[in-house]
Amino acid sequence: MSETNAAAEVAAPHRYTAALAADIEARWQDFWDANGTYDAPNPGGDLTGDADVVARPKKFVMDMFPYPSGAGLHVGHPLGYIATDVYARYHRMTGHNVLHTLGFDAFGLPAEQYAVQTGTHPRVSTEANIVNMRRQLRRLGLGHDPRRSFATIDPDYYKWTQWIFLRIFNSWYDPEAKKARPIDTLAAQFASGERATPDGRPWDGLTEAERADILGEYRLAYASDAPVNWCPGLGTVLANEEVTADGRSERGNFPVFKAKLRQWNMRITAYADRLLDDLDALDWPEAIKLQQRNWIGRSEGARVDFPVQDHPDAKITVFTTRQDTLFGATYMVLAPEHDLVDSIVPAAWPEGTHDVWTGGHATPAAAVDAYRKQAAAKSDVERQAEAKDKTGVFTGAYAVNPVSGDRVPVFIADYVLMGYGTGAIMAVPAHDGRDFAFARAFELPMRCVVEPSDDRGTDPSTWDDAFASYDAKIVNSAGEGVSLNGLGVTEAKARITEWLEARSIGEGTVNFRLRDWLFSRQRYWGEPFPIVYDEDGVAHALPESMLPLELPEVEDYSPRTFDPDDADTSPETPLSRNEEWVNVVLDLGDGRGPRPFRRETNTMPNWAGSCWYELRYLDPHNSEQLVDPGTERYWMGPRDGQPHGGVDLYVGGAEHAVLHLLYARFWSKVLFDLGHVSSAEPFHKLYNQGMIQAYVYRDSRGIAVPAAEVEERDGAYWYEGEKVTRLLGKMGKSLKNAVTPDEICAEYGADTLRLYEMAMGPLDVSRPWDTRAVVGQYRLLQRLWRNVVDEATGEVSVVDAEPDEDTLRALHKAIDGVRQDMAGLRFNTAIAKITELNNHVTKVREVPRSIAERLVLLIAPLAPHIAEELWRKLGHDASVVHEPFPVADPAYVVDETVTCVVQVKGKVKARLEVAPSVSDEELEAQALGDPAVVAALNGAGIRKVIVRAPKLVNIVPA
């Protein structure tokens, strides 16, 4: 402490200082805990409470919950948590029953990797991290209902994650009803003959395994052999992004093989249409909706069959969105992995095969083989990259264009992906950019079938690029029995689709980019699947009474590695090593008594726990049901303006635009279809907060240096005598620029930190952290304190007097503005208005109690601790948390006066404060009577008066 500060401390022992803030904050946090201040009552079942509170409108305000990282929080993390807290507090004060709490998304790879390195059980390290994070969050004064908090690793939470998995496993999507139904209803259809089995045999005559296979084709959770990137050297499956362009692991540089692995999937594709349609009624940022729409990727088009020459049984089915350009299809491309390739490849190159088509190989088979190897090494992203140099090779086979009758060569090329459409395309090089580039490279013919609107002419061999347009006429497209010439694109599509359908060689279809969700991981630290396999390999659900299926202990968390070049190996999951856990004798309650089973040894992916956590907040201790239906309807159910129901405000980072939100929406819809919840959407309103950025300082070698030790001198930055550069970047340990909330709380208190984070700028915009600027908000609180408390005595200094007109006006304008800002999540402008009011009050010598009280109430959502303390000092026994938020008196809100400028001979001589509604006559009279104007006229007569009420009067003397 400096000497002057110390002196001030003596003169003003009751000043608002960091020490006083720390004392106030700790006391009120204890008070809130002891009194359950933030407990939100449920309407029935568990956690019921005050019926009056239940009767209020509800507000469910939620954050994307954190992963309890070992590094703890830096000041960037709580931005969203503070914002939702302010919003929740504001709604408590405006008469809502507010549910606000926070749990932990606690399964995940970091704890598992830490376990591999140190041998510490992931539960031990994760729980320690949770304790630390809870401490950090509590210090911020967040008004959470602590009874509703949990972590996804709690067995009585993941019991229900497993339970939901089983509901999904035990249902199918009925396309007629357009919803999920129990799988038994499907089995009953097979049993009654209402639905035929694939090979027509009666259901009764099938073995259990055969029936299981059939039902597996329908279940919403199903096991299938999925292609994966298997890296024996690391003993693990890799994501595409972890594999290098030459087919090796990024980490360790080991070979990676495409292998098929039995994995669990979620049939999210069944919900593609509903996931798309229901977006419309959600109050989400348009950008996020767009990302979801693109991810789902609905394309309307057609499937068209092309016969293969010399193979009467074979046909190539393509998916196209431009069936109107069918006459322009001059070659075809199959994905290199397409099943048909091997059966159509001839023994030798056909007569007249172009040299550039063969890739220099002696036979089609050799060419195909070599090309496939090359393609397998690329990721889908690389394959789709808009590179101009398209690669591929001729298969030696020809197909027939079904409308033109032309013979078209069939290629394989990696720009066609196996996982999209049918894995085969008709290539229309004149009108598709990728096909154009490919046709140029392989000297393939092109045919113009959409009339160019520019002056390039209709001979594609003279063009520089494809002519791609939806807004032009079809030309050059007449064949036997059908002509599209002269039609627009839309009409041509309809006409040709009808023609194809009539001949059963094609049909209009809708294709989705969305894929089923790969749901298993070869990891330890995740939810075990509640699935066991019998001796025939048939998967069985565990009965509900066996849930939760807890994670077993294992000796080693690391994956087993193999000879890096041995492709014939397969992953060994950590769970599979606990033989006692894996091999069990169980009575599943199906009347067949105890039998031997093998447990599933994969675990669920990280996403699982966050797919339904909003529901657990509602009824966190329910051990009988997922959630009490009345409680769910109360907090989540549909209502006016929220047709699908859902959380009233969900705040988190835009990085979760797609996967988490899509998965959670999918689970909601399944639970809704099966009647477990009344809300078909989890999150009605979504808001993405910006990021808190920080300056990164680097030395001449480009290494980040500790930001806290950098000095600024003469506009440059210095670290240990060396000049360093400054750039804005992310905040974090690795960039040595992390600032923790603990540091800021120690220096100024949590209320200052909260105010600073909210004042930094609009909530949805990224902003740079500046520790030196924090003091500004500290001063605001000091002035607020001084407006209410005598710093010398500690006594309340307000007076019981009527405020003057000016002050009332300032107060009510602030109230009006702050209300609108709070409801609109514009906390930065709310703070600006409160600051203005506070400054006004500072100038009033004796602060009227009514003004002080309302000032305290206004700031309470933002700075709750100091507000509680001042409220108590002002003589109130109850916590400020549930006090009504001030209401503006409209009479004081309108701008009562405007300034009118009075000019004489074009020079300003006076300013008048007038009512905005003042009339021309009144204004003229007032202006002419003003002493300054009279003086300026100095007895001269008046030639003309120009009046523009209420702003201007211009007097022209005679």
Q: Which residues bind ligand ANZ (CB under 6 A)?
A: 299, 319-322, 325, 416-417, 420-421, 423, 425-426, 428, 431-432, 468, 511
We find the least distance from the C-beta atom of residue 320 to ligand ANZ, in angstroms, to be 3
Within 8 A by CB and 6+ apart from 653, the residues are 64, 80, 688, 689, 691
The one-letter code for the residue type at 470 is Y
We find the least distance from the C-beta atom of residue 418 to ligand ANZ, in angstroms, to be 7
Cα 697 to the center of its chain, rounded Å: 31
From residue 514, alpha-carbon distances to 293, 833, 916 in Å are 10, 47, 59
111 vs 448, which CB is nearer to ligand ANZ?
A: 448
394 vs 436, which CB is nearer to ligand ANZ?
A: 436
415 vs 785, which CB is nearer to ligand ANZ?
A: 415
We find the least distance from the C-beta atom of residue 274 to ligand ANZ, in angstroms, to be 20
How far apart (Å, rounded) are the C-alpha atoms in residues 604 and 264?
Answer: 9
Exposure string of 749-759, with b = 16+ CB inside 10 Å and e = fewer, is bbbbbbbbbbb
- Is 663:517 a contact under the CB 8 Å cutoff? yes
We find the least distance from the C-beta atom of residue 333 to ligand ANZ, in angstroms, to be 8
CA dihedral (457, 461, 466, 471) positive or negative: positive
And the tokens for 61? 């305000």
187 vs 417, which CB is nearer to ligand ANZ?
A: 417
We find the least distance from the C-beta atom of residue 883 to ligand ANZ, in angstroms, to be 56
Rounded to the nearest 5°, which phi and psi values hold at 452? -60, 140
214 vs 428, which CB is nearer to ligand ANZ?
A: 428
511 vs 602, which CB is nearer to ligand ANZ?
A: 511
515 vs 733, which CB is nearer to ligand ANZ?
A: 515
We find the least distance from the C-beta atom of residue 302 to ligand ANZ, in angstroms, to be 9
We find the least distance from the C-beta atom of residue 237 to ligand ANZ, in angstroms, to be 23
- Is 700:692 a contact under the CB 8 Å cutoff? no
And the tokens for 52? 């009056």
The one-letter code for the residue type at 734 is S
In the chain, count of helices (H) and strands (E)?
A: 30, 33
425 vs 755, which CB is nearer to ligand ANZ?
A: 425
10 Å CB burial of residue 3 (0-12, 13-18, 19+) is: exposed
Omega prior to 364 cis, within 30 of 0: no
We find the least distance from the C-beta atom of residue 383 to ligand ANZ, in angstroms, to be 9
How far apart (Å, rounded) are the C-alpha atoms in residues 18 and 903?
Answer: 54
464 vs 714, which CB is nearer to ligand ANZ?
A: 464
We find the least distance from the C-beta atom of residue 867 to ligand ANZ, in angstroms, to be 54
The one-letter code for the residue type at 278 is D
How far apart (Å, rounded) are the C-alpha atoms in residues 832 and 814?
Answer: 9
432 vs 816, which CB is nearer to ligand ANZ?
A: 432
We find the least distance from the C-beta atom of residue 854 to ligand ANZ, in angstroms, to be 58
We find the least distance from the C-beta atom of residue 318 to ligand ANZ, in angstroms, to be 7
Strand partners, 767: 692
Rounded to the nearest 5°, which phi and psi values hold at 851? -75, -45
Within 8 A by CB and 6+ apart from 940, the residues are 957, 958
DSSP string for 590-602: SSS--EEEEE---
We find the least distance from the C-beta atom of residue 375 to ligand ANZ, in angstroms, to be 12
Rounded to the nearest 5°, which phi and psi values hold at 722? -105, 140
Strand (E) positions, 739-788?
A: 767-768
Strand (E) positions, 45-90?
A: 58-63
423 vs 609, which CB is nearer to ligand ANZ?
A: 423
- Is 604:520 a contact under the CB 8 Å cutoff? yes
We find the least distance from the C-beta atom of residue 469 to ligand ANZ, in angstroms, to be 9
Compute the radius of gyration of the chain from its Cα atoms: 36
**Sheet containing 257-266: order of strands:** 236-238, 221-231, 257-266, 517-518
How far apart (Å, rounded) are the C-alpha atoms in residues 571 and 261?
Answer: 9
450 vs 927, which CB is nearer to ligand ANZ?
A: 450
We find the least distance from the C-beta atom of residue 269 to ligand ANZ, in angstroms, to be 15
We find the least distance from the C-beta atom of residue 487 to ligand ANZ, in angstroms, to be 15
333 vs 626, which CB is nearer to ligand ANZ?
A: 333
Q: Are strands 704-705 and 311-320 parallel, antiparallel or unpaired?
A: unpaired
468 vs 478, which CB is nearer to ligand ANZ?
A: 468
Strand partners, 518: 265
- Is 173:179 a contact under the CB 8 Å cutoff? yes
How far apart (Å, rounded) are the C-alpha atoms in residues 158 and 550?
Answer: 9
30 vs 339, which CB is nearer to ligand ANZ?
A: 339
- For the chain, the 3-state helix, strand and coil shares in percent, each to the nearest 5, are 40, 20, 40
We find the least distance from the C-beta atom of residue 321 to ligand ANZ, in angstroms, to be 4
DSSP string for 833-867: HHHHHHHHHHHSSS-BHHHHHHHHHHHTTTSHHHH
318 vs 627, which CB is nearer to ligand ANZ?
A: 318
And the tokens for 446? 């092109």
315 vs 685, which CB is nearer to ligand ANZ?
A: 315
From residue 538, alpha-carbon distances to 69, 204, 525, 595, 647 in Å are 39, 17, 25, 13, 39
- Is 375:461 a contact under the CB 8 Å cutoff? no
We find the least distance from the C-beta atom of residue 416 to ligand ANZ, in angstroms, to be 4
We find the least distance from the C-beta atom of residue 659 to ligand ANZ, in angstroms, to be 20
406 vs 747, which CB is nearer to ligand ANZ?
A: 406
Nearest Cα neighbor of 670 from 108, 171, 319, 191 is 171
